[in-house]
Structure 1
Amino acid sequence: MGRRSLKEDQQKRIVEAFYEVAKREGIENTSFGKVAKELDMHQSLVVHYFATKDDLLLGLIDFIILKYENIYQFELEQADPLERLTAVMQNIFSRKWDNYIDDSIFYNCFALIFRNEVIKHRFRDLHLLLRGWLQNLIQACIDERQLTCDDAAKTADLIFVISDGAYYYLSMIQDTNDYDMHLERYRQQAFKILGLDVLAEK
């Protein structure tokens, strides 16, 4: 694997700083100047790597994709497809998944799809990528006759519909016990879609 270039390293630093400033002040209030100040660098250097704020936002969505990718990576070391799938499902319906990206950042980016076609397509790519990763895990289990569902793509899509709706609603719940109760309910329904009712009750 080749060494990351200076350009890639700088872009990564700038996007991470953008994320941190946006968490504190909101995406709409985040400027090149504030990002530069966060990094203690000249504003012109930020502009050198990201010509517009939209470019920075696209970099932020790529950053979100990498964060979510982490939830799949360590499972790849497990040999059994059903164990990999179960571990990923447990992560998707857990606080770990919810904590990968700050809710305000995620939904701020999402709101931009109604005004920016490029961001809309990039956000759709994110959702298709997440579904594709899960679809592949489900298909591996089907191939090994560990699942009886007949359409991995449809099943992955339904699970993410539950997940997307779940976290939208959960973001408004303050009480920890109430949050956990709802999250567990959604997790069980997702396992039942897979035909894994026994695992759903664990």
Structure 2
Amino acid sequence: MGRKRLTDVRQKEIIKSFYKVAKRIGLENASIAKVADEMGISNGLVMHYFKTRDELLIGLNEYILDRHMHIIASGDNGGVDTWDRLEKLVENLFSRKWNRYFDDGVFYSCYALIYRKKDFNESFRKYLEELHTVLKDKLLEARAHGVICNENLEELTEIIFALIDGAYYYLGMFTERSAEYEKQEKLYIRHTMSLFRKA
């Protein structure tokens, strides 16, 4: 048990270092050797935990999932038992909080890999499915509390994520908190809220 815990801790340290290197020099330039340099350890020690760079990429993808899950499942959102709390959840989904948890440049570099690496495609799809499940659970909670009365929450979740993905990509081109940025963000939030039917 102790050995497994130590392995998990060391793997997480390596993934975090991989992320730091990728953020600094770009994912395409991040290598096992550069991660080892970042950590002040040997290449062999990194490869003891991740045999290949592809394995490290899968680990990085899981790290993305963990960080993004924090936004949706965060206690900051509280229980979705009022319209105001539902709106706060939606605002958080469209906010730059995502960027505080994970760098856009690294995220989109990871995203590009789904077209070239089958294992990564499967891992990324699993990551998206888990995010969708967490949001759907929040919407189920809102419906259980009588906040909304939408019936097909699975379909609604898909539509909201399509809006978030497109909006987030586009918002990345604006300076955060600029007038243009805030205008677009409010537009997306308003239209997302219009998808909900009040109970």
What's the TM-score once normalised by structure 2's chain length? 0.90
Match of 1:191 in 2: 193
Does structure 2 conserve the Cα–Cα contact (< 8 Å) formed by 1:93 and 1:183?
yes
Does structure 2 conserve the Cα–Cα contact (< 8 Å) formed by 1:113 and 1:123?
yes
Written as runs of structure 1 = structure 2, the 5 A alignment for 1:34-49 is 34-49=34-49
Match of 2:27 in 1: 27
Gaps of 5+ in 1: 197-202
Name the CA distance, whole Å, in 2 between partners of 1:45 and 1:161.
40
Q: Which moved more, 1:186-195 or 1:84-93?
A: 84-93
Q: Name the amino acid aligned to 2:188.
A: Y
Deviation at 1:193, TM superposition (A): 0.9
The 1:79/1:136 distance shift into structure 2, 3 A limit, reads closer
Q: Name the amino acid aligned to 1:45.
A: L
Instruction: Choose between structure 1 and 2 for higher RCO, CA contacts under 8 A separated by at least 6 residues.
Output: 2
Q: Which moved more, 1:170-179 or 1:111-120?
A: 170-179
Q: Which moved more, 1:3-12 or 1:88-97?
A: 3-12
SS of aligned partner of 1:99? helix
Match of 2:136 in 1: 135
Does structure 1 conserve the Cα–Cα contact (< 8 Å) formed by 2:132 and 2:157?
yes
Gaps of 5+ in 2: none
Deviation at 1:77, TM superposition (A): 5.2
Displaced runs of 4 or more, over 4 A? 81-84
Deviation at 1:132, TM superposition (A): 0.8
Match of 2:182 in 1: 180
Does structure 2 conserve the Cα–Cα contact (< 8 Å) formed by 1:84 and 1:137?
no
The 1:5/1:83 distance shift into structure 2, 3 A limit, reads farther
Name the CA distance, whole Å, in 2 between partners of 1:15 and 1:29.
15
Written as runs of structure 1 = structure 2, the 5 A alignment for 1:108-123 is 108-123=109-124
The 1:106/1:75 distance shift into structure 2, 3 A limit, reads same
The 1:25/1:83 distance shift into structure 2, 3 A limit, reads same
Match of 1:200 in 2: none
Q: Name the amino acid aligned to 1:22.
A: A
Q: What percent identity do the matched residue pairs reach?
A: 35
Deviation at 1:150, TM superposition (A): 1.0
Does structure 2 conserve the Cα–Cα contact (< 8 Å) formed by 1:82 and 1:146?
yes
Does structure 1 conserve the Cα–Cα contact (< 8 Å) formed by 2:174 and 2:180?
yes
How many residues end up aligned between the 2 structures? 195
Match of 1:199 in 2: none
Deviation at 1:87, TM superposition (A): 3.3
- Cα deviation, 1:102-139, whole Å, max 9, x if unaligned, reads 11111100100111111111111111111111111111
Match of 1:65 in 2: 65
Name the CA distance, whole Å, in 1 between partners of 2:125 and 2:85.
25
Q: Which moved more, 1:123-132 or 1:49-58?
A: 123-132
Match of 2:125 in 1: 124
Match of 2:55 in 1: 55
Q: Name the amino acid aligned to 2:143.
A: I
What's the TM-score once normalised by structure 1's chain length? 0.88
Does structure 2 conserve the Cα–Cα contact (< 8 Å) formed by 1:148 and 1:195?
yes
- Cα deviation, 1:7-33, whole Å, max 9, x if unaligned, reads 011000000000000011111111111
